[in-house]
Amino acid sequence: MKIHERIHTGEKPFVCEYCEKVFSTKRNLIRHIRTHTGEKPFVNTEKSFSHELTLRIHVRPHTGEKPFTCEYFKKTFSAKSSLVRHIRTHTGQRSFICGQCEKTFSEKLILRTHIRTHTGEKPFTCGYCGKAFRQKVHMEEHKRTHTGEKPFVCEYCEKTFSAKSTLIKPIRTHTGERPFICGHCEKSFSDKSTLRKHIRIHTGEKPFSCGYCNKTFRGKPIYM
């Protein structure tokens, strides 16, 4: 009960000796201290983790356990955080706001990546050609154009892909999954880009212009 009361009182009596950050429970303090000490007491085979929960999540891809289910599409996930991100594709919730252009995002990580479009920061560099990228995943995908590696395999037809993002859409042609729903007419789509194009039918938006006559289009003109 004492721990619960601290939610209301704001009391945080446990202080980190390394950075003086405060916590409401000793358990949370101990977990935090491991970010300073590097201690990873939870071990699975040869890999170790600083939190028991992180170990449990890590084990699930091996066991196939997916205890978290989407209420909209009944898709299952191994981690609650993955379910929360997925649900936002249904609800359209975008809680993270760019301070420079006020564009909104569904994830903090996507916001951080977006901010680099303003700052020009490209912290990830290809070891083969020196090309720089804003996101590590894009750098890894680019490297495969050098190596020819295609590690992502469709479980239905065994076709291989160099990027996970290019695998997802073909899988949905097999499963029939259409998780992206139009807020105007509730029509559903297998990918976000097709949904965005469809929404322009409702909004009348035509963001692409002809370079010769300034006629506008909902999608890119073919010559572009």
pLDDT along the chain (224 residues), means of 10: 73 84 81 76 62 69 81 84 85 89 90 93 95 93 94 92 88 92 93 91 90 83 52
Half-sphere exposure of 131 (CA within 13 A, CB side): 13
Please give the single-letter amino acid code of residue 194: T
CB atoms within 10 A of CB 182: 14
| Cα 88-51-53 angle, rounded to 5 deg | 50
- Token output for 207: 């963001």
d(CA 53, CA 51): 5
Tokens 């559903």 map to which residue?
188
| Structure confidence at residue 224 (pLDDT) | 45
pLDDT in the model for residue 43 = 62
* pLDDT reported for residue 80: 83
Q: What is the rounded CA–CA span in Å between residue 150 and residue 82?
A: 24
Look up tokens 């700052």; give the residue. 119
- Specify the pLDDT at position 111: 93
- Predicted pLDDT at 161: 92
